[in-house]
Structure formats: structure tokens, C-alpha cells
């Protein structure tokens, strides 16, 4: 009954979902592109039949999937990967990451979660296995994969307490859905317990594959370019900020920073670049945009990171980073990349989507937690004036990132064991 109701609700929502794509496509053309794929229509299917199928919803998950994709390609010269996502920014990121191997990695949208759409998708591509990244639990997809005999693994799996409580309200429907998984490679013991409680098979704790993401060679070169544009200014980076956070961040910066300090704001979602620019200008603060690629004037208080795929370079160019999504109850964002390049990190009180990783980073000395934005900026200003402490946090961050690597190989071991069990 629950599954039939879920499918019926999808049928009701489908016209609205397509209309939303068309509407957003008026200002963001990426939303109108390849709508047919979302409805199960694909071109050039034959070459990628039998590929490893990895689904990652958007930018963060696509980046997290990169080590798994590269490991699958490296261990078998004939291996192919079908990489699906749900957002235009995720698609763009995937195309950029694997631009050098278009004949081996197919980037496509996942169809909407209607049984006949996902079922037809699976029968057309006939993937060897489905690797779903992090929290990508789609009831009809999982049931159809089980029906088609496609092994499924939830990789880099995480589930916050809040999300687990919500799933638990669905009772038997949740247990039936999670029970369709073939295997789970969880980021932490807590994630494993929550998933198992909801009906998932016994989980293997592999850690986070985000520790295995390699800093691109181009990041240091681009960071050096940023530093030439910025000059001698001290940089406080507000990374992956979310709606409702920038106002408090900007107010705290203007209240505490000196003219030698520059606030670099990189919103999490590119469609918000213009809105954040307007917010900064409304505060009377002089703004420049990264996209202008011009030297930053001394009168400029804020530099807007209105670019995609350059976060590593922003981290490298900053003296201190405040992690977005953690200053409002939004769950936080990934801090591993900042730690990997040695940037001291400050997080807010709301990191429930990254609880274990944040706890480990704080314990290792790579990150500081502040109770609110004002306290976060107080800590940032103190760090700017204490080179010794910054260097200690930088070293701790690099060590923290290095010592937790290896999740990719552990995840592939889970995949291989799952395939052997299905064989």
C-alpha cells in the first residue's frame, strides 16, 4: 500500500517537477537541457551497457564519488562507468572531472523514481552493480534493482539522527526500502547503526571516501593567481554558505575585521550568486567578483566567489575558513578539503550531517567549533593574529586528512564481496 501511495504521489508531482525545470531553465538553461533523460530517454546506450553504475545526487556527492570512479577505471582497463546525478551543477561537475575519459564515463541524469522509468533505465543499460552515494535512497529504484537482479551498495553512507527519525515514521515502508539494499559501506559506526535499525543489511564501516579525494594539481596554480589578485590582504573564507547565513557572516565581519582583512564568500549554490552580491552591496560594503578576474582594490571588503569547481583554490588562498551550512540548522558541509590543504577551520553549532567527521577534526586540532557567527569571527580574528596557532592547525589538518584515507579500497572490497555473494 505504501509503495503504491508513494508512486501515486510521484505521478501527481511529475507535471510540477517538469514545469519547474522549464521555469528555472528560463534563467538557468542547464535545467532545460536533457529533460528527456529524467523521463527515461537516453541516447547512445549500447556502449555503456554492463557499466558500473554510480548515482550521486549533486556536486558534493559527485566529488565524493571521484575516487571510486577512478579506482574502478584503474583496476580494469576495460571498465566503464555510468555516472548519474539529479542537478545541472552536479552534471557540470561530473563532465569537468572526467572530461579526459568521455569514452569510459557516461554522465547522465537519473530518471524520476517511477517504477516503469527506473525499470526501463536498468533494462537498457544493464549495469553490473548500482553504487548509490551517501543518502540516495529511492524506494522504486531499489525495488526495481532487486527485481532486475542488480546488486546495490549504499557507499559512503551517512544518516543523521534527524533523518533516521523521519524514516522511522514510515515504519514497514522504510524497512522494505532499506531491506532492498545489497550492502552498506558506512562512514561511521553511528551511521551503520541507524541504517541497520531501519532495515538495511549489516553495514561495514569504511570511513569517508572524501578523504581519498586528491587535491588537483591545478589548485595550487589557481590559488597563486588568487593571491596575486588579492595581494597582501588577510583572507577569511566563508565556504559553501547557504541562504540565511551570509547576512550574519557579513555583519560579523564588518564589525570585527580591519581594512587589511578580506572576506571571500563562496555560496553553496550558483543560482544565489547575484542575490548574495546584492546583499553585500546593500550593507554598503564594496564588492568585487571572482569572475571579473581583476586585482582586488584595498577599498574592497568582500570578494564573491562566483565560480564553480575552484573550492580547493579558495581553501589554499585563505588563512582561515568558516564552513557554511553550520551557522543555521542546515547540517554543515564537508570540511575535509579545507583540512587536506592545511587551512584552519571554524564550524558553527549545526553539523549534524557531518557529526563524526567534524568531531574527529576538532579532536585532532584541525578545527574549532563556535556557538554562533559572532564567536566564529572572534576566533577567526584571533587566528589571523596568531601565526603559530594557525601553523599548528594547518599541520593538524593535513595529518587528520592523511590518516583517514583508504575508504575507497575498503568500499571496493564491500562491492566485490557483494558481487561474489550474488554470483
Annotated active-site positions, please? 61
Q: Find all residues with CB under 8 Å of 179, minimum gap 6, and list them.
A: 199, 200, 201
Name beta bridge partners: 303: 264, 288
Measured between alpha carbons, how far is 372 from 285 in angstroms, rounded to an integer?
22
Task: Fill in the DSSP letter of residue 44.
Answer: S
Helix axis angle for 387-403 and 373-384, nearest 10°, is: 110
Cell (9 digits) for 328: 543555521
Name beta bridge partners: 54: 83, 131
Measured between alpha carbons, how far apart are the two ends of the chain, in Å? 32
Backbone angles phi, psi at 134, to 5 degrees: 70, -85
SS3 content of the chain, % helix, strand, coil (to 5): 50, 15, 35
Name beta bridge partners: 347: 369
CB 140 within 8 A of CB 114: yes
Instruction: Cite the DSSP H helix spans in 39-114.
Output: 59-75, 88-97
CA neighbor of 3 nearest in space, from 197, 146, 154, 210 = 146
Which residues in 134-173 belong to E strands, given as ranges?
152-157
CB 335 within 8 A of CB 323: yes
Complete edge-to-edge strand list for the sheet that includes strand 320-323? 287-289, 302-304, 261-267, 234-241, 320-323, 345-347, 367-369
Q: Tell me how many degrees the CA angle 257-260-263 measures, rounded to the nearest 5.
A: 55
Amino acid at each position: 500500500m505504501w509503495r503504491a501511495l508513494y508512486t501515486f504521489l510521484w505521478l501527481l508531482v511529475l507535471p510540477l517537477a517538469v514545469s519547474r525545470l522549464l521555469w528555472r531553465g528560463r534563467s538557468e538553461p542547464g535545467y532545460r537541457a536533457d529533460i528527456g533523460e529524467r523521463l527515461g530517454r537516453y541516447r547512445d546506450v549500447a556502449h555503456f551497457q554492463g557499466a558500473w553504475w554510480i548515482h550521486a545526487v549533486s556536486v558534493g556527492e559527485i566529488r565524493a564519488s571521484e575516487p571510486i570512479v577512478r579506482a574502478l577505471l584503474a583496476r580494469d582497463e576495460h571498465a566503464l562507468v555510468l555516472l548519474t546525478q539529479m542537478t545541472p551543477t552536479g552534471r557540470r561537475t561530473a563532465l569537468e572531472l572526467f572530461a579526459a575519459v568521455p569514452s569510459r564515463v557516461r554522465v547522465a541524469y537519473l530518471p524520476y523514481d517511477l517504477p516503469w522509468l527506473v525499470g526501463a533505465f536498468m533494462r537498457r543499460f544493464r549495469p553490473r552493480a548500482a553504487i548509490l552515494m551517501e543518502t540516495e535512497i529511492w524506494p522504486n529504484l531499489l525495488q526495481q534493482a532487486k527485481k532486475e537482479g542488480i546488486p546495490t551498495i549504499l557507499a559512503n553512507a551517512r544518516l543523521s539522527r534527524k533523518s533516521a527519525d523521519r524514516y522511522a515514521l514510515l515504519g514497514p515502508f522504510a524497512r522494505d526500502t532499506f531491506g532492498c539494499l545489497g550492502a552498506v559501506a558506512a562512514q561511521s559506526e553511528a551511521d551503520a547503526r541507524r541504517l541497520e535499525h531501519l532495515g538495511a543489511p549489516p553495514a561495514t564501516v569504511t570511513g569517508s571516501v572524501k578523504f581519498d579525494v586528491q587535491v588537483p594539481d591545478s589548485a595550487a596554480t589557481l590559488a597563486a593567481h588568487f593571491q596575486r589578485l588579492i595581494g597582501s590582504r588577510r583572507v577569511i573564507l566563508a565556504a559553501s554558505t547557504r541562504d540565511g547565513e551570509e547576512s550574519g557572516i557579513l555583519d560579523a565581519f564588518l564589525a570585527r575585521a580591519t581594512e587589511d582583512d578580506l572576506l571571500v564568500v563562496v555560496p553553496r549554490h550558483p543560482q544565489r550568486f547575484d542575490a548574495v552580491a546584492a546583499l553585500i552591496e546593500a550593507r554598503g560594503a564594496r564588492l568585487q567578483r571572482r569572475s571579473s578576474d581583476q586585482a582586488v582594490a584595498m577599498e574592497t571588503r568582500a570578494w564573491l566567489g562566483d565560480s564553480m569547481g575552484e573550492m580547493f583554490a579558495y581553501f589554499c588562498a585563505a588563512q582561515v575558513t568558516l564552513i557554511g551550512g553550520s551557522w543555521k540548522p542546515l547540517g554543515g558541509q564537508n570540511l575535509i578539503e579545507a583540512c587536506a590543504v592545511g587551512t584552519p577551520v571554524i564550524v558553527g553549532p549545526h553539523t549534524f550531517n557531518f557529526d563524526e567527521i567534524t568531531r574527529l577534526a576538532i579532536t585532532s586540532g584541525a578545527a574549532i567549533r563556535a556557538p554562533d557567527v559572532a564567536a566564529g569571527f572572534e576566533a577567526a580574528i584571533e587566528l589571523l593574529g596568531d601565526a603559530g596557532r594557525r601553523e599548528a592547525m594547518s599541520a593538524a589538518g593535513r595529518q587528520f586528512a592523511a590518516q583517514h584515507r583508504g575508504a575507497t579500497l575498503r568500499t571496493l572490497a564491500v562491492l566485490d564481496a557483494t558481487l561474489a555473494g550474488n554470483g
